[in-house]
Amino acid sequence: MRRGRRPKWMIDIANERMDILFSLAKKEFSDNPDRSHRYVSYARKISKKYNTKIPSKWRRSYCKNCYKFLNPSQNSSIRLCDGEVNIKCYECNHRMKIPYKKEKKLKRRAKIESYIIKKRNNE
């Protein structure tokens, strides 16, 4: 397969597959944690092969260091700490920090912009 961007239909299929894999990983986690870790590695392989990102819904469900599936309260903890979401992986003790101030700011900006567009359309 050639490198570079994939056609949209291929990306759609890849996203669907990753979604299925992560849902399975979530379902299997309590009985079979090893199986869920394997599903995450399959999903990562798909994301690399098709040059797509892991769906944002699942981006926080795996460890960025050891790539194991993280289920809050079972093998990870999520804490809010000065404008950051701290996700701690109990498998390798890696701590991921995701700032959410930027997200808040972007949301606010989008709201203002949509308001301006609406206003402009009314005039």
What is the distance between the alpha carbons of residues 78 and 55, in angstroms, rounded to a whole number?
19
What is the distance between the alpha carbons of residues 105 and 108, in angstroms, rounded to a whole number?
5
**88 binding Zn ion? (CB under 5 A):** no
**71 binding Zn ion? (CB under 5 A):** no
**94 binding Zn ion? (CB under 5 A):** yes
Whichever of 14 and 96 has its CB closer to Zn ion, that residue is 96
> Shortest Cβ distance from residue 23 to Zn ion (Å)?
21
**Sign (positive/negative) of CA torsion 113, 115, 117, 119?**
negative
Question: Which DSSP string corresponds to 16-29?
Answer: HHHHHHHHHHHHHT
**Sole binder of Zn ion in the list 18, 54, 89, 96 (CB under 5 A):** 89
H/E stretch holding 7: none
What the block records as the tokens of 102 is 């930027």
DSSP character for 5?
P
**92 binding Zn ion? (CB under 5 A):** yes
**Sole binder of Zn ion in the list 63, 69, 75, 87 (CB under 5 A):** 63
From the list 8-16, 57-65, 79-87, 102-110, the region that binds Zn ion by CB under 5 A is 57-65
Q: Enumerate binding residues for Zn ion (CB under 5 A).
A: 63, 65-66, 89, 91-92, 94
